[in-house]
Structure 1
Amino acid sequence: MVDNNNIFKPGENCWVSSKANFVAPLIDCGNYYKALHSAIVKAKHSIFIIGWDIDSRIRLLRGDDEANSEAPSVVSDLLAWKAENNPDLNIYLLRWDSSLAFFSKREMWAKEVWEEKTPDNVQTELDDTIPMGGSQHQKIIVIDDELVFSGGMDISTNRWDTRDHPVESEERDGPDGEYAPLHDVQMVSSGPVVADFSKLVRWRWLRVAESEPVEIREQADTSLDGPIPDTWPEGFPPIFEEVDCALARTIPFMDEVEPAQEVRTMLLDLIGQAESLIYIENQFTTRQEIAEALNKRMKARPDLHVIIVSSYEPKGKFECEAFWASRIEFKSILEKDIDPKRVKLTYSSCEDLQGRKAYKRIHSKVMTVDDKYLVIGSSNLSNRSMTLDTEIDVVLSGNSDLNRAAILNVRNDLLAEHTGRDISDMPALFAEEYPVEALIHGQIAHGYVLTEVRDEVFTTQSVNNVFRSLSDPEEPLISMPSFDGGALPARNPRRRTIMIMLGVAVIALLGGLMFWASQSISWLSGESINAFLEKSRGTYFALPTVLLVYVVGGILFFPVTVLSLAVAAIFGPIWGPIYGIMGALLSSAILFAIGKLSGDAGLRKVGGPKVEALDEKLKQSGIVGVAAIRMLPIAPFSLVNLVAGISSIGLLQFLIGTFFGMFPPMIAKGLVGDSITQIFRNPSVETISYLVGGIVLWGLMIWGSQKFARYYQENRQKRASDNEASESKECAA
C-alpha cells in the first residue's frame, strides 16, 4: 500500500520535497564514525564536510576495526592520506567560526591545524556569517555527490560512544578526561535527495570562501531508481527504500539571505498529523510553542500518547538556567489537563551491578509520528534552533508498507535501548492501553531505564533571565542600524579577532604591570639593586641576596643582562659569574614551573600549530637548542623561561641548556662588569683594555658557542640518520 498524501509543502514547511533511494539510520557515534570512515576511504571525487565542529584529533575507528584498517583512523590523517593518494580528489571543510562561549572547548586554531596537516587539495574555511548569538548547527557530509550523511552528529570531542553505553569506558576520553555516556543519531542516504544536499553545501561554501568548489558531478547517479552507490559504507544495510522525504531548514537573517523557519513550521504540521503516538528524543526541550502544540493535539485526540527522552543533568550555570529552567515550563505546558499516563518527559540512566551510576546524555534530534513520519535532523526543540541557528532536518514519510515498518523499527529500537529491553518486547508494550505508562514500568534493574524528569532538583522555574537571553535567544544578541532604516544582525566575533584581542589585552596587562612596577616600586632600578647587593658583599647573606634578586627580577621581567653586570661589578670576575649563574638557574626553574602550570591550564592550546611546531623543534634540539637560545638573547630571559615551561621540554634539559648557554657569556660579562667598576674607580689604559677585551670575549663566546651548537646538532642528526639506515638494513636482512 502506498500513501502519497504527505504534508510536504516546499516554500512553507520545507525547502524541497524529494526522494531517497536508500536510507540507513546510524545510531550512536561508534556506528556513525565507522560508516563515515568506510565512505571516505571509498571516495574518489569530492568530500564536503559542513559542521558545528570538525576536530582534527578525532579517531573514527576503535578496537579491532582500528587495528585491522589499512587507512588511518584519526580523521585528519585519513583525509590527508586520501588527498595525497588521490590528487584529483577535492575536500572541503567548513566549520563554524565559534563564538566566545565555546572558546575553550574546541580546537583553538582549527583552520591553521587543518592547513598544517593536509595537502593543498584539502581546503578549510571558518564560517563567521552567523548572527551574534546563533551558531552554524548543520551537520552534513556529502561524498562524491552520491552519498550524504546528515543528522545530529559532529566530528567533535566528547561524542563517541557505543550503543550499550557502558557506565565507564576508557574510549570515552575527551580533553577534560572521561565523559558520560552519550547518545546521538545520524543517517546516511542516497538517491535524488543527495543532489539537494550537494547544492546546499556548495551554497554554504560560497558564502564564506573565495574559491569556487568543484561543480556537482554529472556522473553521480542520483536518479530515482539508482543502485546503492559505490561509496555506501560497509556493514550498514539500508532499511528505507524509495522513501519520500523533505528537507526543512532554519536559516537566520544574515547578509541579504532570506531567512527560513521551515523546521518550526514542519514540526508543528507533523504534530497536527499525530493520531496514536509521538516519540521525541532531543537534547533540549524549551520551545513553548512546541509544548502548546503537543498539548493541543492530545486534547483533540484522546488516544494520542507522547513520550520524550532528553538528558538528566545540566552542564554549568548557563545550561541549567537557560535550558533546564525552561524545560520546567515546557513540561508544565505539555502536561496541562492531560492524563499523566498519556505523556512523560524522561531521561535514561543506568546503575550497574557494582552500584556505579550513569546518566545518558541525549544529543540526538529525532521524532516519530505514528508510523507516518520520521525526523532525523540537527535542530533542537529550542528557540535558537527555530529561528537563529542554521539547521537541517530530514523528514522521511511512511509512503509504503516497508517504510512504515522501518519507522516503527527505528522508534522501537531507540526505546528498547533507553529502557534496557529487547526490541522484540516493544510491540506488546505499544499494544497496551497506556503505552507510555507501560514503557516506564517493568524495566529491568541494572540496565538503562527511563525515569520522569524532575528539574526542580537543579533549578527553579524562572522568568526570562540573562542566561536564557544569551543561551537560547530567538533573535540576534546585537543588531546594527542599516542605511535603509532597518537593522542588520551583528556577526559573532571571529576566532582570529578574539585571539588578537586577547593577545593585545595580555600585552597591555604585562606592559601596564611593568610600568606600574617601575613607577611604584622604588627599589626596582639599577641603582637600588646595586645598593642592595653592595650591602650583602662580604656577608653570609651574599648568595641568598643574589638569588632573591634574580627570582624577583625574573618575575618582574627585569633585564637579566643588567643583573649579571651588576653582580659581576659587585662580586668580581670570579664569584660574580658563579653567583649569577646560580641565580639565573633558580629564576629559570621557578618561571619554568609557572609556565608549566599555565600550559596545563590551556595556554599550550592558545599557541596553535605554529607554536606546536616550534615546541617540537625545541624538544628535539633539547639542551643544544636551549643553549643556542640563551647565547643569542632573541627574547627576554623571563619570557623564554615561561614559554619553555609551556612547551614539552623537560626541566632538567632546560636547566642544563641554560647553564651551557649562559655561563660562558656570564664569565665575559664578569670581566665587563668588573672592568666598568675599575674604570669608575681608576680610569686608565689598562682598565679600558680589560673592558674592550671583555666585550670582544663576550662576542667571541656567543659566536663560538653558536658554531659549536650547530656542529653538535648536525652531528647528532647525522648519527640519528645513520642509525635509522642501519636499522632498515637489519630489518631488510
Structure 2
Amino acid sequence: MSRRCRCFSCIREQNTREYKVAMEMTQSVYQEGRNFWKKGKAHRVTFIIDAQDYFAAFVEAVLKAERSVYITGWDIDSQLTLIRGEEVPDFPVQLGEFLSYAVHKKPQLHVNILDWDFSVLYTFKREYLPAWKFAWKTGRRVHFHLDNYLPPGASHHQKIVVIDDRIAFAGGIDLTHVRWDTPEHLPDDPRRSDPWEERYPPSHDVQILVDGEPAAFLGELFRQRWRYATRKELPLPEATASDPWPQMCIPDIHDIDVAISRTQGRYREKPEIREVESLWVDAIAAARRHIYIESPFFTSSKVAGAISKRLYEKDGPEIVVVTRKKSHGWLEESTMDAIRVHLVKRVKRVDADGRFGIYYTEHPGRPDDLFEVHSKILIVDDTFLRIGSSNISNRSMGLDSECDLSLETWGHTEAKKACRNLRDRLLAEHLGSTPEKVGEIIEKTGSLIRAVEILGSPDRTMRPLDISPAVKNILSEPYLVDPERPIDPDDFIERFIDKEDHHSGRKRLIIFAALMLTLIALAAAWKWSPLAGYLDIDAMSEWIGSLSSNRLMPLIVVALYVLGGLVVFPVTVMVAITAVLFPPLIALALSVAGAMMSASVVYWIGRIVGRDFVRKVAGKRINQLSRRLARQGLLAMTIIRFIPVAPFSVVNLVAGASHIRFRDYFIGTLIGMTPGFIAITLFTESLISFLFQPNILNVTILIGITLAAVVLLIWLKRRIAGRVEQSAGERA
C-alpha cells in the first residue's frame, strides 16, 4: 500500500483539488421539483445536428426495435420522406409505409403515436385527415391518436421518440415535412421539398439521443400522456436483449446524468408544471463566461429578464443568440416578431459593455433567402447543456407541453469537451467555417461575439438582427398571442371588449334567444288560434317555390344584402328571410356570400370617406371601436363579429375607416359571423317545418334547435378566446 506524500507542496495541491471538486459539487443548477422532473444515468449520449442524420438514425433504430416504438410531436406526417438522395434503401421511405414495414417484420412490435390535435387554423399546413392516413397506410399494430388533452389555446409541442424504453430521441425535430435538411444547407438543394414537391428554405435543427434511465423515463412520460389522451393504459415493454442504438450515432459522452424538464399547462386534473422556465432562468444565472443560445423565437419575458440581469452585472457573461431573421406569415411577423423587437431593445438598453449579440444566418449572395433556425439549444460555458422542444417564448414556459433534456459536466472531462465541440460545430455551421477554426478564435479572443465578427464565408455568415424597423403589432396585449398560462375565456372577453360593449353583446344574445321564442309563439298562434284563417300555407308554399326557382334570385339576394348594408338594415333579419326562401344549405351559402359582399362594399366606402368623417358622424363608443379595430386587426374582427357591439353596417364602415387590413377584416368577419348564420338558418328551417307540419316531432326539433342554438352561442363565447388565440401562427 502506497503512502501519500505529506510535504507542504503536495498537501497544498491536494487541498486545492479537493476545494475545486467541492466548489463544483455545490454549483449544480439542478433542484428537483423546481427545474427538473427526473434525472438518471445515461451510458451513451449523442448530439444529432439537422434532420438528415436524425431521420436516418430514427430509421435504423426503428428497424432494431423489438417491442415498442413511441412517437409524439407537434406534427407527424405519414407522407414524410425519411431517406432522400441517390442511395434509396430497399424498403419504404415514407413514414407511414415505413412503420407498416417495421411492424410487419417484427410480430411483437407495436408503434404508438401521439400527434397534437391541431387547431383548424393549421388545416392547410398539415396532412389532411392524419388519423385516416395512418390507419390506411399502416397495420393494426400502429396505433395513432390525435391528442387534445390540453388547455384551450395550448399545443402539444414535445418531440420524443422512445424505442423499447432502451433509447430515446428528443429535441426540436418533428417527423413531418419542411424539416429535412443537411448541415451544408445548400440554397437550391432539390431534395429539400415537401410531399407536394414544393421547395422550402434551409432548415437547421438539433436532436439528442440517450439510453439508460433517461430513455426509460421518457417512455414513462409518453405512457402518462397516452393515458390522459385515450383513457387506456399502455403496458411496460418487455425487456429485450437487443440494443436498438443506431450504429451511425457515435456517442459524444459516456456515463453521465441526464435530467428531464417539462412544461405543462394546468388542465383538469393535470397541475401546472414550469420546470423548463426555472431551468432556463437558473442556468443563465449560473453562467460565468459564455452563454450560447439557439431559438426561433425570443419572446419570453422571464428569459429576457434573466439575460438582462446578467448583462447589468459588470463582470457578467457574454451572450450570443442565434435566431431566424423573421417569422413565417403575416400574423407571426405582426405578433411574435413585434414582441421580439420590444424585448431585444429592452435587453440592449442594459448592455453597456456590448456583451449581447443576437444574430440570424444568411447566404451572403442571396440575402432574401430565409434560413430557418428551428433548434432549441442552451450551452452555458462548458459546464451545462440543454437540448429540447421549448422555444424562448412565454407559451413554452407555462402553456404548451414541452420536454427538454439537459446535463452538467462538473468533474466530467469528456462531457466538458463535448459541450465545447457542440457549440463550435453549431457556430461553424452558421458561419461556413470549421469547428477547429471556431474553437481556435474563441480560445484566442475569449469571445463568442469576436468569433462571429471575424469568421464567415461567401457561402454563409451570421448577421446582427436588425431591430431598427418598427414592426407593427396587431395586438396591444402580447399575452393574447404568447400567453404564459391558459387564458380564462371570461377574462379574455373582459380585457378585449369594453365593459359597456360586453354587456351590450350579452344583451344581444338574450334578445336573439327571446326573438326565437317569440317566433315560436307566433307560429303556434297562427296554427291553433283565430289567426290561422289569415294564413294560407299552400299559397305561401307556392309563392316561396316560385321565388326560389328563379335563376336570377341568388344574384338578387346578394344585391339585396348589399343594399341592406347601405341602409343599415339588420343582417340577421336578411339571413332569416333567406332561410325562408331557399333550402338550408343554399340559404346558408347565399347568406354568407351576401353578408360578405355587403361587408366588403361598406368597408371600402369607409376606407374612401376616411376616419375623420366617421369620427364626426359616430359617437364616443364608435370612435373607441375604431381605435380597437386599427390596433388589434384579425382578432378584433373575430370577437366583435361574434359578440356584436354595434350594428353590422356600422362595424363595416368603422373597419374601413380604421384602415384595418382587408384580409384581416374579411377572415375575421367570416369566422365570427358563420356560427350565428348557421344557428339562424337551422332555426328558420325548423320553424317552417313546424308551420307546414305541426306534429310532435317538428315541435320537438324546433324547441331542441332553439335551446341548442342558445347553448352553442354561449359555449362558443367561452371557447373563442382559446381557439382564436391559436392563430398566433406556427409555433413548432
Q: Using a 3 Å threshold, how does the CA distance of structure 1 residues 116 and 458 change in structure 2: closer, same or farther?
A: farther
Task: Name the amino acid aligned to 1:299.
Answer: Y
Matched, 1:474 2:484: yes
- Which of residues 404, 408, 412 is equivalent to 2:420? 408
Matched, 1:319 2:332: yes
The Cα of 1:210 is off from its aligned counterpart by 4.1
Structure 2 unaligned regions, length at least 5: 1-16, 492-542, 554-584, 587-732
Matched, 1:334 2:356: no
Matched, 1:127 2:155: no
Measure the CA separation in 2 of the matches of 1:445 and 1:8.
39
What residue is the counterpart of 1:163 in the other structure?
A: 183
Matched, 1:202 2:223: yes
Measure the CA separation in 1 of the matches of 2:229 and 2:335.
31
1:7-65 residue CA offsets vs partner (Å, 9 max, x unmatched): 22211111112221111111001111011011011111110101111100011111244
The Cα of 1:340 is off from its aligned counterpart by 5.6
Q: Using a 3 Å threshold, how does the CA distance of structure 1 residues 336 and 84 change in structure 2: closer, same or farther?
A: same
Q: Using a 3 Å threshold, how does the CA distance of structure 1 residues 57 and 301 change in structure 2: closer, same or farther?
A: farther
1:280-321 residue CA offsets vs partner (Å, 9 max, x unmatched): 000101112211211211333525100000000221222112
Task: Name the amino acid aligned to 2:81.
Answer: R
8 Å contact from structure 1 (residues 432, 438) kept in 2: no
1:542-577 residue CA offsets vs partner (Å, 9 max, x unmatched): xxxxxxxxxxxxxx99xxxxxxxxxxxxxxxxxxxx
Measure the CA separation in 1 of the matches of 2:110 and 2:546.
57
The Cα of 1:135 is off from its aligned counterpart by 0.2
Matched, 1:307 2:317: no
Q: Using a 3 Å threshold, how does the CA distance of structure 1 residues 456 and 335 change in structure 2: closer, same or farther?
A: closer
Matched, 1:184 2:205: yes
Q: Using a 3 Å threshold, how does the CA distance of structure 1 residues 476 and 108 change in structure 2: closer, same or farther?
A: farther
Measure the CA separation in 2 of the matches of 1:26 and 1:518.
70
What residue is the counterpart of 1:666 in the other structure?
A: none
- How many pairs does the alignment contain? 481
What residue is the counterpart of 1:418 in the other structure?
A: 430
The Cα of 1:117 is off from its aligned counterpart by 1.1
Q: Using a 3 Å threshold, how does the CA distance of structure 1 residues 220 and 329 change in structure 2: closer, same or farther?
A: farther
The Cα of 1:213 is off from its aligned counterpart by 1.8
Measure the CA separation in 1 of the matches of 2:461 and 2:68.
43
Matched, 1:255 2:276: no
What residue is the counterpart of 1:681 in the other structure?
A: none
8 Å contact from structure 1 (residues 416, 423) kept in 2: yes
Matched, 1:519 2:550: no
Measure the CA separation in 2 of the matches of 1:373 and 1:239.
15
What residue is the counterpart of 1:360 in the other structure?
A: 371
8 Å contact from structure 2 (residues 158, 401) kept in 1: yes
Measure the CA separation in 1 of the matches of 2:453 and 2:311.
22
Measure the CA separation in 1 of the matches of 2:207 and 2:457.
29
1:517-557 residue CA offsets vs partner (Å, 9 max, x unmatched): 963563579xxxxxxxxxxxxxxxxxxxxxxxxxxxxxx99
Matched, 1:387 2:384: no
8 Å contact from structure 2 (residues 319, 355) kept in 1: yes
Task: Name the amino acid aligned to 1:473.
Answer: P
Q: Using a 3 Å threshold, how does the CA distance of structure 1 residues 340 and 202 change in structure 2: closer, same or farther?
A: same
The Cα of 1:437 is off from its aligned counterpart by 3.4
Measure the CA separation in 2 of the matches of 1:84 and 1:340.
61
Matched, 1:151 2:171: yes
Measure the CA separation in 2 of the matches of 1:320 and 1:288.
18
What residue is the counterpart of 2:249 in the other structure?
A: 236
Q: Using a 3 Å threshold, how does the CA distance of structure 1 residues 216 and 300 change in structure 2: closer, same or farther?
A: farther
What residue is the counterpart of 2:36 in the other structure?
A: 14
Task: Name the amino acid aligned to 2:247.
Answer: E
8 Å contact from structure 2 (residues 320, 449) kept in 1: no
Q: Using a 3 Å threshold, how does the CA distance of structure 1 residues 176 and 135 change in structure 2: closer, same or farther?
A: farther
What residue is the counterpart of 2:104 in the other structure?
A: 84
Task: Name the amino acid aligned to 1:200.
Answer: L
1:380-434 residue CA offsets vs partner (Å, 9 max, x unmatched): 0101100110000111111301101101111111011111111111223213556
- Which of residues 408, 411, 416 is equivalent to 1:397? 408
What residue is the counterpart of 2:597 in the other structure?
A: none
Q: Using a 3 Å threshold, how does the CA distance of structure 1 residues 463 and 101 change in structure 2: closer, same or farther?
A: closer
Measure the CA separation in 2 of the matches of 1:451 and 1:458.
19
Q: Using a 3 Å threshold, how does the CA distance of structure 1 residues 85 and 518 change in structure 2: closer, same or farther?
A: farther
8 Å contact from structure 1 (residues 344, 436) kept in 2: no
8 Å contact from structure 2 (residues 320, 448) kept in 1: yes
State the structure with more CA Rg. 1
1:121-178 residue CA offsets vs partner (Å, 9 max, x unmatched): 1111110112111100000110011010000110111111000001112111124721
What residue is the counterpart of 2:505 in the other structure?
A: none
User: Normalising to structure 1: TM-score of the pair?
Assistant: 0.62
Q: What secondary structure does 1:112 align onto? A: helix
Structure 1 unaligned regions, length at least 5: 222-228, 482-514, 526-555, 558-733
What residue is the counterpart of 1:512 in the other structure?
A: none
Q: What secondary structure does 2:125 align onto? A: coil
Measure the CA separation in 1 of the matches of 2:113 and 2:276.
25
- Which of residues 70, 79, 85 is equivalent to 1:48? 70
Task: Name the amino acid aligned to 1:212.
Answer: E
8 Å contact from structure 1 (residues 342, 434) kept in 2: no
- Which of residues 192, 195, 199 is equivalent to 1:172? 192
Measure the CA separation in 2 of the matches of 1:437 and 1:478.
43
Q: Using a 3 Å threshold, how does the CA distance of structure 1 residues 521 and 469 change in structure 2: closer, same or farther?
A: farther
Matched, 1:347 2:360: yes
Measure the CA separation in 2 of the matches of 1:124 and 1:337.
49
Q: What secondary structure does 1:431 align onto? A: helix
8 Å contact from structure 1 (residues 517, 524) kept in 2: no
Q: Using a 3 Å threshold, how does the CA distance of structure 1 residues 523 and 19 change in structure 2: closer, same or farther?
A: closer
Measure the CA separation in 2 of the matches of 1:56 and 1:518.
51
8 Å contact from structure 1 (residues 90, 214) kept in 2: no
Task: Name the amino acid aligned to 1:285.
Answer: F
What residue is the counterpart of 2:301 in the other structure?
A: 288
Q: What secondary structure does 1:254 align onto? A: coil
Q: What secondary structure does 1:441 align onto? A: helix
8 Å contact from structure 2 (residues 456, 462) kept in 1: no
8 Å contact from structure 2 (residues 260, 403) kept in 1: yes
The Cα of 1:190 is off from its aligned counterpart by 0.4
Measure the CA separation in 2 of the matches of 1:313 and 1:173.
21
Q: Using a 3 Å threshold, how does the CA distance of structure 1 residues 520 and 384 change in structure 2: closer, same or farther?
A: same
Measure the CA separation in 1 of the matches of 2:161 and 2:441.
37
Name the Cα RMSD after superposition. 2.5
The Cα of 1:182 is off from its aligned counterpart by 0.5
1:188-228 residue CA offsets vs partner (Å, 9 max, x unmatched): 110111111111000011111244323243x258xxxxxxx
Q: Using a 3 Å threshold, how does the CA distance of structure 1 residues 287 and 31 change in structure 2: closer, same or farther?
A: same
Q: Using a 3 Å threshold, how does the CA distance of structure 1 residues 63 and 234 change in structure 2: closer, same or farther?
A: farther
- Which of residues 408, 430, 442 is equivalent to 1:430? 442
Measure the CA separation in 1 of the matches of 2:346 and 2:367.
34
The Cα of 1:359 is off from its aligned counterpart by 3.1
Task: Name the amino acid aligned to 1:401.
Answer: T
8 Å contact from structure 2 (residues 295, 391) kept in 1: yes
Between the aligned residues of both structures, percent identity stands at 30
Measure the CA separation in 2 of the matches of 1:342 and 1:168.
35
8 Å contact from structure 1 (residues 418, 448) kept in 2: yes
The Cα of 1:479 is off from its aligned counterpart by 4.2
Q: What secondary structure does 2:101 align onto? A: helix
8 Å contact from structure 1 (residues 150, 186) kept in 2: yes
8 Å contact from structure 1 (residues 371, 398) kept in 2: yes
Measure the CA separation in 1 of the matches of 2:210 and 2:298.
27
- Which of residues 385, 388, 397 is equivalent to 1:377? 388
Measure the CA separation in 2 of the matches of 1:261 and 1:415.
29
What residue is the counterpart of 2:632 in the other structure?
A: none
8 Å contact from structure 1 (residues 33, 61) kept in 2: yes
Measure the CA separation in 2 of the matches of 1:326 and 1:255.
30
1:59-80 residue CA offsets vs partner (Å, 9 max, x unmatched): 1111244x2x233211111110
What residue is the counterpart of 2:288 in the other structure?
A: 275
Task: Name the amino acid aligned to 2:113.
Answer: L
The Cα of 1:272 is off from its aligned counterpart by 0.8
